[in-house]
Structure 1
């Protein structure tokens, strides 16, 4: 019992560690948040590992501990939401409420993954040792392998699609019309840049970006045009590559704008380092938030630029 219990806990914690690489790309996880996540992973894994022997002993009241744990993890979600909302005031580029909610939900769901993998590991051990008369050592090895495989399967299942799955990204020119009207690609009228020094900075350090929905799909277009998704893209650029502006220079805040000609999104962005390939990779890796999905489903049988059904 002791061995499989600790193995169940280890598998549960390892499940959380598998997810940390993605977390680091989206929001800070070190050092304090990393430690808190590992502690919560230990608590969740312990609950999952203890649940199997409790059920075998017909201690059904142990289910109440799961409900208490669920309530605690929901509280973690609310705390993370409140913290990120407070930090919005300090950001040069806002995350936006939709992205904050996505992050908070992720914190909650991944604790449940720890419970599932530790419960499955211990449960599978009891199943094969009692029903198939397999020795304890072999049972430990098999259940460990099953737990690790389940962790990777869950990671695959909850994997969020990214912008690169639904859109192509290309670099376009930044220019000005009538001396001060910012133009990105073939879309003009993005904003009015009155000061010459600001226009010079756009031309010297700025990068024009166009995000074009794949397959001329209105569904893909509706996702990248969602206000929360647009803000997520802008923040992802800022968090990964920085931005060449100060707090008192709002004119340089990236403003995603819709191009009605092809339903694309264009952005004028000033990175700290003008690496075009890195910019493309960052946008393609930007996660698609849940609130941006499921919009305009009535348009699934139509193509951009062609109104008749297909």
Structure 2
């Protein structure tokens, strides 16, 4: 019992450590709070490792501890949400409520993953012991392997799609018409930049990009139309590449605009370092928010720019 408990605990912690790198990739600059995350993973893994022996001993009150743990993890989600919302006013580009909720939900789910992997590891140990009567060392190896396999499967399942999966990102020229009206590619009327010095900054340091739904698909376009998803893309750019502006320079806040010609999104952005490849990669790596999915499903058999079935 002691060996399999500690192995189940270790597998649960390992599953959380595996996900830490993925979290940092999908939610850059998110305060990792490594110690806090590992402590919560330890608690969750301990509960998962103790659950199977408790049920075998018919100690059904152990379910009460699971409910208490679930409540605690929901509180962690609420605390994370409140922390990020309190930081919004300090950001040059805000995350937006949809992105904040996505981050908070993600960190809650990670704790449940620890419970599942540690519980499976211990459960496999007792199952193999009862059915196959295998040597303890071999049993420990098999149960540990099953837990690790589940951890990597969960990592694959929980990995979110990114903008690069549903859209192509291409460069677009920034220009000005009628003196001060910004134009990106073929779309004009983005915003009015009154000061000449501000227009010069856009022309010299700015990068224009166009985010085009793949396969001319309205479902993909619906994701890009979502205001929360657009704001997440802007924050992903900011968190990875910075933004060349001060708090009192509203002219340089990135404004994603819809191009009705092909349902793409046009953006003018001024990174700290003018590097087109990095800007495109930052846009493509932005995770797709759950709240942005499910838009325009009734048009899934239609293609953009063409009436009738695809």
Q: Distance in 2 between matches of 1:21 and 1:205?
A: 32
- Equivalent positions of 1:50-199 (< 5 A) are 50-199=50-199
- Equivalent positions of 1:288-303 (< 5 A) are 288-303=288-303
Listed one character per residue, the Cα deviations across residues 128-161 of structure 1 (whole Å, up to 9, x for unaligned) are: 0121000111111111111110000011111111
Query: Does residue 22 of the first structure (1) align with residue 22 of the second (2)?
Result: yes
Listed one character per residue, the Cα deviations across residues 3-61 of structure 1 (whole Å, up to 9, x for unaligned) are: 11111111111111111112223144556x11111110000000000001001101011
3-state SS in 2 of match to 1:236: helix
Q: Distance in 2 between matches of 1:223 and 1:270?
A: 24
Q: Distance in 2 between matches of 1:102 and 1:37?
A: 17
Q: Distance in 1 between matches of 2:229 and 2:31?
A: 25
3-state SS in 1 of match to 2:262: coil
Aligned residues: 309
Listed one character per residue, the Cα deviations across residues 98-125 of structure 1 (whole Å, up to 9, x for unaligned) are: 0000000001001000000000001001
Give the TM-score, by structure 2 length.
0.98
Q: Distance in 1 between matches of 2:245 and 2:234?
A: 14
Deviation for aligned residue 1:262: 0.2
Counterpart contact for 2:28–2:240, Cα < 8 Å: no
Task: Give the aligned partner of residue 284 of structure 2.
Answer: 284
Counterpart contact for 2:256–2:267, Cα < 8 Å: yes
Residue segments in structure 1 that go unaligned for 5+ positions in a row: none
Q: Distance in 2 between matches of 1:84 and 1:27?
A: 13
Task: Give the aligned partner of residue 239 of structure 1.
Answer: 239
Task: Give the aligned partner of residue 224 of structure 2.
Answer: 224
Residue segments in structure 2 that go unaligned for 5+ positions in a row: none
Listed one character per residue, the Cα deviations across residues 142-190 of structure 1 (whole Å, up to 9, x for unaligned) are: 1111111000001111111110110000111100001110111111000
